Structure 1
């Protein structure tokens, strides 16, 4: 298995952290994580992709070890920073993979910078339209918990996500909590950025070959697959039974197999 290496790129907003794996001369695959996670969501996936591609997983600005944006978080700004990373690494074109929030960023990247995106993999990605924006505005915060002197907010964060994680995998919840605690500033920033994004204004510009990875047991994203298919007629769909919210680190072999099968085809 190829080794995972970690590095920083100096971008317009400061240092952006990323992990990479595989031959730098091979075709690049850029992986974008959900929020409030980090590149570690793809820790087990990177070596599997790195056997065939130059696989890179970046920390979205404000998450993991990347500096936050100077202005309010937005899908458009995060996509522009992903292009800056490709420029800094002299990567003219990449396959782009995104999970949850990362999928929304990936779609914006493909729509706004089509020459930079060879193909697109949208994993558990919501279709963001006015109905979803309204639902998000009316819903209480997803991950925000008030700090407490006795640490009970840590248990509250764990319990708030527990129903959406597979039984018997406390390691996945522990990884989530660790990443959530590292967020610079607003832990809800990623969710707010998704809720403000006008996907319906951009999705029609996506013409790249596209794969939709359907995590069957993901209650948030699974219902959006038909909507995405309707707007992306070129898209193929791969179902991953048992896959849930933490799909890339829950079932890394199945996730990597789906991505590799699509890229090889």
Structure 2
């Protein structure tokens, strides 16, 4: 089967223009990226899911080619509301929502805030952000917090901070990360703070959609939370991709897309 073409466009929201990349037709599946990535995180996943679904990846406000907002105006709740505005603009009422890392937290809020519209949910590498985690991380430097320097040394520093969590020797994945981090600017670091500020423990019990919790087995930042996230959502399914790392969707697009498609084929029929 020939993979569908990726189409790119912009839609207007109350926050500004949001960049959209989509592929395929059928039941809509919204894909939300991690910090500080963009739709490019799902560049290889889109045509795979697009064989059976209308796969839609967006750049979260502040990232990629989407509108820029002052850091203080960002929150998980606002990102979720903007995502619904995008679906409205695309004529989509109900959709499955798939999120990775930061995107998983936004996807969870979408399911909690408008459960009738989120028909199925996939939480990939989702942290469990409660008071204990907020306290543990409060005031600490985020992984992508580097001071810009005229000689460009901050990019080497950023590369070295991230590289241990990427496949050894995979220059291409690291270059894609760096390109998105440069576009994000201050949001590369602040996006992690937005996640840190989210009161997940007050919202997760509101999730009623059929849920798949995807655990990247080789992601030390998120893998420890997978069981707790799954336990907090009644009836959820936990699936582990053992070799998955922080960049799992673009590291292992075939395995990622297959896990998502297998789950959604049952719960969006």
Q: How far apart are residue 141 of structure 1 and its match?
A: 2.4
> Is 1:58 matched with 2:66?
no
SS in structure 2 of the partner of residue 245 of structure 1? coil
Distance 2:69 2:206 in 1: 26
Contact 2:36 2:187 in 1 (8 A): no
Q: How far apart in 1 are the matches of 2:109 and 2:161? A: 29
1:87-118 CA distance string (max 9 Å, x none)? 11110000000000000000000000111100
**1:184 Cα deviation after fit:** 5.0
Shift, 1:220, TM fit: 0.4
How many residues were matched structurally? Answer: 263
- Per-residue deviation, residues 126-171 of structure 1 (Å, max 9, x unmatched): 0110111112214322202111121111100100101111112111
Q: In 2 relative to 1, CA 187–116 (structure 1 residues): closer, same or farther, beyond 3 Å?
A: same
Q: Structure 1 length as normaliser, TM-score?
A: 0.97
For 2:90 and 2:69, how far apart are their aligned partners in 1? Answer: 20
Tell me what 2:172 maps to.
171
Query: Please, what TM-score do these two structures have when normalized by structure 2?
Result: 0.95
Match of 1:232?
Answer: 233
Residue 19 of structure 2 is aligned with which of 10, 17, 20? 17
Write the distance in 2 (CA, Å) between the matches of 1:135 and 1:103: 21
> Which residue number in structure 1 is paired with residue 80 of structure 2?
79
1:98 matched to which residue of 2? Answer: 99
Q: Say which SS state the counterpart of residue 187 (structure 1) adopts.
A: helix
Deviations 1:209-243 (A, max 9, x none): 00011110000000001211221121101110110
For structure 2, the 5+ residue unaligned runs are: none
Q: How many angstroms apart in 1 are the aligned matches of 2:59 and 2:215?
A: 23
C-alpha distance in structure 2 between counterparts of 1:211 and 1:112, whole Å: 18
> Comparing 69-78 with 152-161, which one deviates more in the overlay?
69-78
Shift of 1:60: 0.2
> Which shifted more, 145-154 or 26-35?
145-154
CA RMSD of aligned residues (A): 1.0
| SS of 2:11 mapped into structure 1 | strand
Q: Using the TM superposition, give the Cα deviation of residue 187 of structure 1 relative to its aligned residue in structure 2, in angstroms.
A: 2.2
Question: For residues 153 and 262 of structure 2, what CA distance do their matches in structure 1 show?
Answer: 44
Runs of 4+ in 1 over 4 A off after TM superposition: none
Rounded to whole Å, the distance in 2 between the matches of 1:193 and 1:238 is 27
How many angstroms does 1:248 deviate by? 0.2
How far, CA to CA, are the matches of 2:52 and 2:112 in structure 1? 26
Q: Map of 1:1-265 to 2, 5 A cutoff?
A: 1-23=3-25, 26-69=26-69, 71-265=72-266
In structure 2, how many angstroms separate the alpha carbons of the residues matched to 1:22 and 1:247?
A: 22
After TM superposition, the structure 1 stretch with the greater mean CA deviation from structure 2, 130-139 or 196-205, is 130-139
SS in 2 for 1:188: helix
SS at match of 2:150: coil
Q: Is there any run of 5+ residues in structure 1 with no aligned partner, and where?
A: none
Q: Secondary structure at the match of 1:248?
A: helix
**Contact 1:68 1:184 survives alignment (8 Å):** no
Q: Is the 8 A contact 2:227 2:238 kept in 1?
A: no
Shift of 1:69: 3.3
